[in-house]
């Protein structure tokens, strides 16, 4: 069913990994882990597993940059099959929120990206109509996506030679959220002139033209929207909705009754507890929404009433992308050591924000059910799952019925040599090492503990005549991408950062990775972080890692031992097969991330100083979120909010 195209055949231990994973799937193993080192071709292994099993596949990535890379790789592997991309469709997202300590209400503010809307709808249509579909998704896969039955059933089916009444077609297109226009033909619109109906589906690049003779369909064709040229003839066609969230008129009427009943109960509850302001607020806001639903079939924030339209009970999980797949689909979770905790943490943060809205009369309790899946719900909905990581976490180790190792790189490259040196004189020693690699036209990465350290070390290197720049969270996505580009081009020799794992820095030009103060225990020097950081030097034949430390921590010992274990296996394989290691040759990519840069979405939002929001109000919101994160033991999130508070105070000169 799948046509896998590649210049290469599986090499190293890829053939064995593919065979073991496929056999595990055939043996009905629910969870498996692919432990693949950096540069071992994990994506190609996943592609082979999909091709050999012939089943629909969902590939989840922990961030959109990696998701874009995976999407383009799978598009190249499967040019004749359907590879789809599913991420949040917001360019900008500021969620509705209320800060009780400052009595600040923040209205939802969002900009929708039409390209991403189109890609999401194309994904839903492909899953419902094809078996050879591969979906690359962010954590957006666990957020509400509308009822799949409604999306599948509320469609327009037309067949050549059949008779249809014009008013029936117009009524159906309206229910499917299509808009009639005589110009400006964008996705989700249609026009009817004389005997010709032209429909512009959101999910396709072409239009559909239906020609009638009286009420009978004579021809159905697809055509190029811009050149108006004929593309393909059809005997029948199915047009799917223009939006993810569609429902029937009967469901809307039924929902209004349920909303009114729950509104009365909430008003009574507030009054009983002496919360008269909250009672008045919820009645006014909800009555306004009901009026819009009755007259327009839509209201602002309609997603907060989705439970009523779906017929779900309080607490029931929402419909998501996972519900669109049939039961036999495969799930791959890439970089699972990051993605699994991320999936598990989405529900708690969403619930905390919405509970304030409910408690203070801004939303009915039903809004709590417009939410991401809890991790247990996610685990129930996915079918057989392969977790992919170079450093599997506790979850992977606990649930996996089989761990498949992929340690041999097709290029014969070994894991880098790891050397521990004392911290005394570490900067001078680092400078000496840099001078060696610069002569070979190679690059270096340096990892430090704080943003201030990154800036100071970068400045010091520049004073020493070594071209350097720093990377940390105060640089926006565009600036970070520019720094990476400079390093690969050779405009700079060194990048200094605090956490260089999130940047996608898999660069063959990097032969030296230096970790300052490697013995400072914490999440930035944990076993997982150290192994991942060491892997940054694994794409160059001269790869070397320096750990500057005055003691051997448990995390250091584990990471060094694991690296040496892998080196031994790789070296033995090379010797037995007469393989000479060669550096990876990787061309500089086109800027495929442009539509997704600097996007703040529903999945990874932070509050911003927006219209109608002063810096002081913004600080209040940040403080509220910081204390909330700390109370929930999410200390890393709390630290991010703390850093942002300091940035805002500095930017706006607030004491």
How does 44-57 read in b/e, with b if 16+ C-beta sit within 10 Å? bbbbbbbbbbebbb
Residue 208: strand pairing partners: 199, 222
The pLDDT of residue 74 is above 80: yes
What is the C-alpha to C-alpha distance for residues 42 and 423, in angstroms, rounded to an integer? Answer: 36
455 shares a domain with 572: yes
The pLDDT of residue 483 is above 90: no
Domain containing 277: what range? 252-302
570 shares a domain with 428: yes
The pLDDT of residue 249 is above 80: no
Whether 287 maps to a domain, the answer reads: yes
For 174, residues 6+ apart whose C-beta sits below 8 A from its C-beta are none
**Residues placed in the known binding site for ATP:** 36-43
570 shares a domain with 444: yes
398 shares a domain with 279: no
Average pLDDT, the chain: 85
The pLDDT of residue 121 is above 70: yes
Whether 207 maps to a domain, the answer reads: yes
3-state secondary structure of 190: strand
Among 229-243, 382-396, 600-614, the range with the most confident prediction by mean pLDDT is: 382-396
Whether 1 maps to a domain, the answer reads: no
The pLDDT of residue 458 is above 90: yes
Banded model confidence at residue 89, pLDDT cuts 50, 70, 90: confident
Residue 562: how many other CB atoms lie within 10 Å:
19
For 193, residues 6+ apart whose C-beta sits below 8 A from its C-beta are none
350 shares a domain with 282: no
pLDDT at position 621, please?
Answer: 65
* More confident site: 67 or 574: 574
Residue 388: strand pairing partners: 34, 334
Residue 234: strand pairing partners: 220
Banded model confidence at residue 586, pLDDT cuts 50, 70, 90: low
- Judged by average pLDDT, the poorest of 17-21, 150-154, 192-196, 610-614 is 610-614
pLDDT at position 253, please?
Answer: 84
What is the C-alpha to C-alpha distance for residues 393 and 380, in angstroms, rounded to an integer? Answer: 20
Whether 514 maps to a domain, the answer reads: yes
pLDDT at position 473, please?
Answer: 66
* More confident site: 345 or 578: 578
Banded model confidence at residue 605, pLDDT cuts 50, 70, 90: very low
pLDDT at position 602, please?
Answer: 42
Among 319-333, 459-473, 477-491, the range with the most confident prediction by mean pLDDT is: 319-333
**Directed axis angle between helix 554-576 and helix 527-534, to 10°?**
40
What is the C-alpha to C-alpha distance for residues 22 and 9, in angstroms, rounded to an integer? Answer: 17
pLDDT at position 68, please?
Answer: 82
What is the C-alpha to C-alpha distance for residues 271 and 239, in angstroms, rounded to an integer? Answer: 49
The pLDDT of residue 110 is above 90: no
The pLDDT of residue 493 is above 80: yes
Please check whether residue 81 is in contact with residue 132, taking contact to mean a CB–CB distance below 8 angstroms: yes
CATH number of the domain residue 218 falls in = 3.30.2060.10
124 shares a domain with 203: no
What is the C-alpha to C-alpha distance for residues 328 and 117, in angstroms, rounded to an integer? Answer: 26
CATH number of the domain residue 350 falls in = 3.40.50.300
Q: What is the mean pLDDT of residues 139-151?
A: 85
pLDDT at position 94, please?
Answer: 76
What is the C-alpha to C-alpha distance for residues 60 and 145, in angstroms, rounded to an integer? Answer: 16
Residue 556: how many other CB atoms lie within 10 Å:
21
Banded model confidence at residue 597, pLDDT cuts 50, 70, 90: very low
For 183, residues 6+ apart whose C-beta sits below 8 A from its C-beta are none
Domain-ending residue, one of 374, 406, 438: 406
Banded model confidence at residue 38, pLDDT cuts 50, 70, 90: confident
Share of the chain above pLDDT 90, in %: 49
- Taking the C-alpha atoms of 457, 463, 469 and 470 in order, what is their torsion angle to the nearest 10 degrees? 20
180 shares a domain with 101: no
- Judged by average pLDDT, the poorest of 157-166, 287-296, 461-470, 592-601 is 592-601
571 shares a domain with 428: yes
Q: How far is CA 558 from CA 422, 442, 523, 574, in A?
A: 19, 28, 14, 24
Whether 245 maps to a domain, the answer reads: no
Q: Which residue in the block uniquely carries the two structure tokens 């060669």? A: 582
Among 244-248, 551-555, 584-588, the range with the most confident prediction by mean pLDDT is: 551-555
464 shares a domain with 554: yes
Whether 26 maps to a domain, the answer reads: yes
Whether 521 maps to a domain, the answer reads: yes
DSSP 8-class letter at 210: E
For 457, residues 6+ apart whose C-beta sits below 8 A from its C-beta are 427, 446, 448, 468, 470, 496, 516
38 shares a domain with 81: yes
pLDDT at position 604, please?
Answer: 42
Phi, psi of 419 (to 5 degrees): -120, 135
Give the tokens for residue 506.
């898999």
Q: What is the mean pLDDT of residues 516-543?
A: 87
Domain-ending residue, one of 534, 557, 576: 576
Banded model confidence at residue 610, pLDDT cuts 50, 70, 90: very low
pLDDT at position 103, please?
Answer: 86
pLDDT at position 182, please?
Answer: 79
Please check whether residue 168 is in contact with residue 147, taking contact to mean a CB–CB distance below 8 angstroms: no
Please check whether residue 169 is in contact with residue 92, taking contact to mean a CB–CB distance below 8 angstroms: no
pLDDT at position 654, please?
Answer: 76
| pTM of the full structure | 0.77
For 93, residues 6+ apart whose C-beta sits below 8 A from its C-beta are 109, 110, 600, 601, 602, 605
The pLDDT of residue 285 is above 80: yes
For 437, residues 6+ apart whose C-beta sits below 8 A from its C-beta are 443, 444, 493, 511, 512, 542
Phi, psi of 489 (to 5 degrees): -75, -20
Please check whether residue 342 is in contact with residue 60, taking contact to mean a CB–CB distance below 8 angstroms: no
* Total structural domains within the chain: 5
pLDDT at position 85, please?
Answer: 92
What is the C-alpha to C-alpha distance for residues 650 and 655, in angstroms, rounded to an integer? Answer: 8
The pLDDT of residue 551 is above 80: yes
422 shares a domain with 369: no
Please check whether residue 166 is in contact with residue 180, taking contact to mean a CB–CB distance below 8 angstroms: no
Whether 170 maps to a domain, the answer reads: yes
Domain-ending residue, one of 406, 432, 459: 406
What is the C-alpha to C-alpha distance for residues 623 and 328, in angstroms, rounded to an integer? Answer: 45
* More confident site: 629 or 133: 133
570 shares a domain with 437: yes
The pLDDT of residue 609 is above 60: no
Banded model confidence at residue 275, pLDDT cuts 50, 70, 90: very high
């Amino acid at each position: 069913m799948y046509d896998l195209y590649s210049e290469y055949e599986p090499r190293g231990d890829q053939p064995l990994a593919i065979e073991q994973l496929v056999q595990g799937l055939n043996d009905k193993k629910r969870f498996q882990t692919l432990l693949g080192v950096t540069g071992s071709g994990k994506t190609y292994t996943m592609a082979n597993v999909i091709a050999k099993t012939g089943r629909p596949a969902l590939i989840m990535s922990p961030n959109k940059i990696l998701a874009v890379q995976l999407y383009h790789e799978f598009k190249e592997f499967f040019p004749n099959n359907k590879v789809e991309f599913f991420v949040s469709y917001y360019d900008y997202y500021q969620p509705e929120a209320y800060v009780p300590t400052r009595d600040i209400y923040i209205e939802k503010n969002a900009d929708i990206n039409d390209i991403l809307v189109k890609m999401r709808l194309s994904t839903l249509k492909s899953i419902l109509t094809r078996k050879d579909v591969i979906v690359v998704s962010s954590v957006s896969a666990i957020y509400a996506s509308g009822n799949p039955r409604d999306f599948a059933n509320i469609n327009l089916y037309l067949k050549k030679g059949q008779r249809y009444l014009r008013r029936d077609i117009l009524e159906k297109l309206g229910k499917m959220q299509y808009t009639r226009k005589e110009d400006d033909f964008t996705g989700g619109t249609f026009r009817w002139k004389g005997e010709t109906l032209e429909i512009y589906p959101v999910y396709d690049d072409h239009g559909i033209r239906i020609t009638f003779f009286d009420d009978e369909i004579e021809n159905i064709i697809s055509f190029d929207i811009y050149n108006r040229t004929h593309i393909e003839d059809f005997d029948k066609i199915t047009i799917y909705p223009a939006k993810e969230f569609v429902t029937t008129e009967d469901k809307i009427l039924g929902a209004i009754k349920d909303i009114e009943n729950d509104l009365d109960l909430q008003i009574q509850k507030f009054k009983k507890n002496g919360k008269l302001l909250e009672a008045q607020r919820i009645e006014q806001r909800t009555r306004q929404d009901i009026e819009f639903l009755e007259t327009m079939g839509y209201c602002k924030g309609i997603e907060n009433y989705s439970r009523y339209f779906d017929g779900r009970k309080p607490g029931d999980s929402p419909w998501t992308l996972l519900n669109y797949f049939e039961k036999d689909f495969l799930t791959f979770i890439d970089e699972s050591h990051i993605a699994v905790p991320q999936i598990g943490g989405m529900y708690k943060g969403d619930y905390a924000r919405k509970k304030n809205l409910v408690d203070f009369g801004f939303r009915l309790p039903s809004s709590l059910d417009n939410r991401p899946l809890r991790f247990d719900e996610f685990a129930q909905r996915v079918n057989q799952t392969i977790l992919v990581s170079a450093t599997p976490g506790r979850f992977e180790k606990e649930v996996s019925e089989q761990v498949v190792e992929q340690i041999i790189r097709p290029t014969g490259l070994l894991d880098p040599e790891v050397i521990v040196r004392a911290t005394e004189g570490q900067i001078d020693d680092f400078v000496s090492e840099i001078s060696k690699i610069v002569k070979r036209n190679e690059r270096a990465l340096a990892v430090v503990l704080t943003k201030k350290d990154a800036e100071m070390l970068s400045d010091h290197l520049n004073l020493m005549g070594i071209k350097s720049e720093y990377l940390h969270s105060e640089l926006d996505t565009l600036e970070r991408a520019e720094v990476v580009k400079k390093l690969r081009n050779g405009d700079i020799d060194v990048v200094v950062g605090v956490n260089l794992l999130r940047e996608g820095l898999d660069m063959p030009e990097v032969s030296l990775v230096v970790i300052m103060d490697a013995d400072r225990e914490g999440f930035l020097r944990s076993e997982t972080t150290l192994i991942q950081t060491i892997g940054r030097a694994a794409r160059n034949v001269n790869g070397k890692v320096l750990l500057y430390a005055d003691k051997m921590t448990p995390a250091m010992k584990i990471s060094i031992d694991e690296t040496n274990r892998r080196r031994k296996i790789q070296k033995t394989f090379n010797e037995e097969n007469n393989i000479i290691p060669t550096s990876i040759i990787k061309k500089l990519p086109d800027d495929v991330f442009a539509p997704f840069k600097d996007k703040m979405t529903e999945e990874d939002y932070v509050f911003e100083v927006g219209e109608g929001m002063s810096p002081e109000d913004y600080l209040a919101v940040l403080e509220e979120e910081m204390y909330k994160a700390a109370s929930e033991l999410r200390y890393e999130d709390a630290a991010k909010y703390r850093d942002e508070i300091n940035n805002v105070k500095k930017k706006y000169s607030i004491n």
